Amino acid sequence: MTGTAERIEDLRRRHGEAVHEADQRARIKQHAKGKLTARERIALLLDEDSFVELDEFAAHRGTSYAPGEPRPYGDGVVTGHGTVDGRPVCVFAQDFTVFGGSMGEVCGEKVLKVMDLAMRIGCPVVGINDSGGARIQEGVVSLAYYAELGRRNSLASGVIPQLSLIMGPCAGGAVYSPAITDFTVMVRGTAHMFVTGPEVVRSVTGQRTGAEELGGAQINSELSGNAHHLAEDEADAIDWARTLLGFLPSNNQDSLPDYEPAGDPGRAAELDALVPDEPHEAYDMRRVLELVLDEGDFLEVQPLFGRSMLCAFGRIDGRSVGVVANQPLHNAGTIDIDASEKAARFVRFCDAFNLPLLTFADVPGYLPGLEQERRGIIRRGAKLIYAYSEATVPKVTVVVRKAYGGGYAVMGSKHLGADVNLAWPTAEIAVMGASGAVSLLHRRELAEAAANGTEEAVRAKLVEEYRSTLATPYVAAERGYVDAVIRPSATRAQLSRALRLLANKRQEVPPKKHSTMPL
């Protein structure tokens, strides 16, 4: 027994020395590029001393090594589990200093193993990507594991939260796993994500481009919408991920995190004067969220993409909620293709993980235009209607100012299944805005007034009549489309009451294998 114990101790000592030397080399290489090592990233993400590594002895199985020659431990990825704020989380971090973090047989086995563990125990999984892609030397095996990972991501979708942190290159088949996960974070300057790199693009199309222009963090965050947060550095990326996990349940069967309620009733009065009297004057919807949500705190998702729509996580009475809101500062809050798809995906995520939905509407409608029509605003705009209709979580809507046409219908209206609909006295709910409606309804009268030189006064009178008789929220309230017209300063109290009422909401849905939403 003593001899066996000594041999085990000797093996552990030699392994420890090898890992230590490998870590030292990795640290020098990564720090020279302004990046952290795989284990340093994991240490930042997880609670102190909580990380338990899996398969640390796993080694590359290639045949190019001489007998007895040491093989790199880990095969380009570090996997394991730990805690974030005391709650279990599974994690894998690609190690660019070993085979470029490329996907091979052992690497793939380790990643799939930790994904399977996350599904069995019902906890979030965080993947940290920094890889050269498929391992060419291992041929189709590396491709097989990318496909297997994509299948695991699909099976886990809507069951456990999945986060991808892109902290280096991510190209080719490697990009599709982050695309399937729920949230993707990219680090400015060091992260790149594209299907084909600049050299391939140039050889195939003749277009000359660089990695940053083709798939840098800014491009993926602002133009393509592939990234949900643009991090200034790796610490920022990890901090955002930790904050996000604090809003989410561990799985779709788990209860939401519960914190101490934190409100400030003294701030609510500002809401009464927040919306400008002039209907065309903009204001920042973020300020509404700050005055309504606990401690004025919320975590915005995709803030640089589809800017006319805000999607964020916050809390009411210490309980997590998802918030969808029009942003009047951008295109007057109109819904374009990007805004629709951004909000639709967010709504579906909240519904999958049982986060109540709060909607703040100030929308003149869908964005008109030749480009929008040709890019498919009909099909892609329908995604938001579908998402709200399909969602069975508690849904509470506040109409802040304008809610015109299709914009009224799609932004959490009663007709799409909202449970409680509230409106501020400033709300205008109608087929279209007052000025446009008057121009259509009173053409002859306006023409006569123009001939008499009184068009401006007549138009002002007709616009005021339209607003007071047709666009007022009390017309919608008479029909039950709005449950109450409330003072803005009472919004937080009304939302709190509605969410308590809906805490045990149940809703039957027709039996089906799955839906066929317009993708």
Could you read off the pLDDT of 38-91 as tens digits, one per residue?
999 999 999 999 999 999 888 877 655 555 556 677 889 999 999 999 999 999
Is residue 43 one of the residues assigned to a domain? yes
DSSP labels for 199-256? HHHHHHH-----HHHHHBHHHHHHTS---SEEESSHHHHHHHHHHHHHHS-SSTTSPP
State which H helix or E strand residue 505 sits in: none
- CB atoms inside a 10 Å sphere around CB 434: 22
Give the span between the Cα atoms of 150 and 186, in whole angstroms.
20
- Domain shared by 195 and 330, yes or no: no
- Domain shared by 226 and 301, yes or no: no
Is residue 7 one of the residues assigned to a domain? no
Q: Which residue has the tokens 């660089």?
A: 210
Mean pLDDT value of segment 153-160: 98
Which residues constitute the domain of residue 451?
A: 443-470
Helix, strand, coil shares, percent, the chain, to 5: 45, 20, 35
Is residue 138 one of the residues assigned to a domain? yes
Q: Which residue has the tokens 């340093």?
A: 40
State which H helix or E strand residue 170 sits in: strand 169-171
- Domain shared by 118 and 181, yes or no: yes
Tell me what the pLDDT averaged over the chain comes to: 91
- Domain shared by 334 and 376, yes or no: yes
Would you say 191 and 170 are in contact if contact means Cβ atoms under 8 Å apart?
yes
pLDDT at 287 over 90: yes
Is residue 407 one of the residues assigned to a domain? yes
Is residue 514 one of the residues assigned to a domain? no
- Domain shared by 220 and 278, yes or no: no
Give the span between the Cα atoms of 73 and 396, in whole angstroms.
52
How large is the angle between the packed helices 38-45 and 234-247, nearest 10 degrees?
A: 40
For residue range 182-217, list pLDDT tens digits in order: 999 999 999 999 999 998 899 999 999 999 999 999
According to DSSP, the residues that pair with 366 across neighbouring strands are 335
Give the span between the Cα atoms of 91 and 124, in whole angstroms.
8
For residue range 370-390, list pLDDT tens digits in order: 999 999 999 999 999 999 999
Q: What was the pLDDT predicted at 99? A: 86
Q: What was the pLDDT predicted at 87? A: 97
Would you say 96 and 133 are in contact if contact means Cβ atoms under 8 Å apart?
no
* CATH at residue 40: 3.90.226.10
Domain final position from 179, 213, 247: 247
- Domain shared by 114 and 33, yes or no: yes
- Domain shared by 190 and 292, yes or no: no
Q: Which two tokens stand for residue 266?
A: 């003294």
Q: Own/partner pairs for 281-285, CB < 8 Å, 24+ apart?
A: 282/328, 282/329, 282/332, 283/328, 283/329, 284/327, 284/328, 284/329, 285/310, 285/325, 285/326, 285/327, 285/328, 285/329, 285/333, 285/360, 285/362, 285/400
- Domain shared by 304 and 416, yes or no: yes
Domain final position from 183, 218, 247: 247
Give the span between the Cα atoms of 99 and 77, in whole angstroms.
10
Is residue 516 one of the residues assigned to a domain? no
Binning pLDDT at 50, 70 and 90, where does residue 7 land? low
Distant-in-sequence, close-in-space partners of 386: CB < 8 Å, separation ≥ 6: 344, 515, 517, 518
Is residue 296 one of the residues assigned to a domain? yes
- Domain shared by 219 and 281, yes or no: no
Tell me which residue of 172, 294, 168 sits closest to 234, measured CA to CA. 168
Among the residue ranges 86-95, 100-109, 301-310, the one predicted with the least confidence is 100-109
3-class DSSP assignment, residue 263:
coil
Would you say 201 and 215 are in contact if contact means Cβ atoms under 8 Å apart?
no
pTM: 0.92
- Domain shared by 349 and 448, yes or no: no
- Domain shared by 429 and 447, yes or no: no
Give the span between the Cα atoms of 511 and 314, in whole angstroms.
32
State which H helix or E strand residue 311 sits in: strand 309-316
Q: How many domains is the chain built from?
A: 3
Q: Indicate the residue type of 211.
A: A
Is residue 365 one of the residues assigned to a domain? yes
- Domain shared by 280 and 425, yes or no: yes
Give the span between the Cα atoms of 443 and 115, in whole angstroms.
65
Q: What was the pLDDT predicted at 388? A: 98
- What percent of the chain is predicted at pLDDT more than 70? 93
